[in-house]
Amino acid sequence: CNPISANDLAGELGLSSVATTKKFCDYLAEPYLFFYLPRFNNKLKLMTKAPKKVYVVDNGFVRSTAFNLSENLGRLLENQVFVELLRRGYIPGKTLFYYRTRNDKEIDFVTRKGTKVEQLIQVCYDMTSEKTRKRELDALVEAAEELHCDNLLVITNSQEEKIEWKNELISAITANKF
């Protein structure tokens, strides 16, 4: 669920060729093992240059191969939501994106219908911490203003509520209900 670029990945892996690194990434996408989600931007040139977020087709693959000191349940939930959005027919780069606001706040998913932004979705495993709640909701409200969208959703593990935040109405639902 992290943004990456071929340049960064080549450096991280110690590969000298960015073109070869990009080819390897494309090979992983061909059998639908990895998916690359572009950042939403109205300017196509800026959208293609921005780092893409990487998702995996199955959380079991992530859990079996990743070296983690913690379970990182938030990222696993985000990956699960991404796979569900694919199942619902959204297409990365056409109707599904991620977004960064002018103040560098990230929105996990932007869905689009035609030329209109349909919905903004944040995924947050646990929103009980006031700091986490503020971060997620502030990002949604800021993006809503920039993208002119009022369909705002937070997907959590176990919390469900309607939230009024800075004059915006935000729905929080559980991943099971989503």
**Mean pLDDT throughout 140-161?**
97
For the stretch 127-131, contacts whose Cβ atoms lie closer than 8 Å and that sit 24 or more positions apart, written own/partner, are: 127/154, 127/156, 127/159, 127/172, 128/159
Q: Give CA 91 to chain center in angstroms.
A: 13
For 47-84, what is each residue's pLDDT tens digit? 888 889 999 988 887 666 655 545 688 999 999 999 99
Report d(CA 80, CA 160) in Å as an integer: 18
| Tokens matching residue 134 | 């503020």
In sequence order, the 6+-apart residues with CB closer than 8 A to the CB of 150 are 144, 168, 169
For 84-97, what is each residue's pLDDT tens digit? 999 999 999 999 99
Domain boundaries, the chain: 3-174
For 22-47, what is each residue's pLDDT tens digit? 788 777 777 778 899 999 988 878 88
CB 102 within 8 Å of CB 61: no
Q: Name the residue among 41, 96, 99, 79 with its Cα closest to residue 155.
A: 79
Report d(CA 169, CA 173) in Å as an integer: 13
Report d(CA 53, CA 153) in Å as an integer: 20
Write down the mean pLDDT value for the chain.
89
**Mean pLDDT throughout 141-156?**
97
CB 152 within 8 Å of CB 135: no
pTM over 0.85: yes
DSSP annotation of 38 reads: P
User: Strands, E, within the chain: which ranges?
Assistant: 3-4, 34-37, 52-56, 96-100, 106-113, 116-123, 152-156, 161-165, 168-174
